[in-house]
Homo-oligomer: A and B are copies of this chain.
Amino acid sequence: MASPHQAPPLGSIIESVLYTQDMARAREFFARVLGLTADLEDERFTAYPTGNTMLLVFQQGQTGETVQLPHDMGTIPPHDGAGRQHLALAIPAGSLEAWEAHLAGQGIEIEGRTRWPKDSVSLYFRDPDGHLLELVTPGLWPCY
């Protein structure tokens, strides 16, 4: 029998967030280097679909107050972030060489590289804010 404290079902992380000091610079990078196209953007944030998830990039200093949405849609509480955050994006196994060539062609230095069990490979590099981005081929986790 389920415990009375057992949590209801939970799915994937749908939105992951990076904070930028310079939105124009971040947008140039994510379009040119990762090939992302914004689904929604304003002076405060940019929302990029990638696979089945969203990358949200927020302008630092623009998220510290509660957002009141129009039409009684509700409120979004404040958040903020600093430092050199980390996130990992999936790439197909067969695309590793193409990604290495693409990053080199865009002047992006690969700062770290790992080969995990099951032949999953990770490439690590920085965005202009110093965030540590990882591209990883399948096999790293039971769910990937």
Q: Which A residues form the contact surface with B (CB < 8 A)?
A: 4-17, 19, 32-36, 39, 47, 49-56, 58, 63, 66, 69, 73-92, 95, 98-99, 102, 105-106, 111-116, 122, 124, 131-132, 134-136, 140-144
Contacts and interface: CB of A to CB of B under 8 A. Distances in A.
A85 B8 contact: no
B85 A17 contact: yes
Contacts of A10: 34-36, 50-51, 89-91, 135
A52 B50 contact: no
B5 A106 contact: yes
Given A39-B141, A91-B9, A78 B84 contact: yes
Number of copies: 2
A7 B112 contact: no
Given A115-B73, A143-B52, A11 B91 contact: yes
Contact of A15 (B52, B63, B88, B92): B88
A37 B106 CA distance: 39
A83 B19 contact: yes
Contacts of A15: 86-88, 134, 136
A85 B135 CA distance: 22
27 contacts: A5-B105, A5-B106, A7-B33, A7-B99, A8-B99, A10-B89, A11-B92, A12-B50, A13-B13, A13-B50, A13-B87, A13-B89, A14-B90, A19-B83, A49-B141, A49-B143, A52-B144, A53-B143, A54-B143, A58-B86, A75-B114, A76-B122, A76-B124, A78-B132, A79-B85, A79-B86, A80-B83
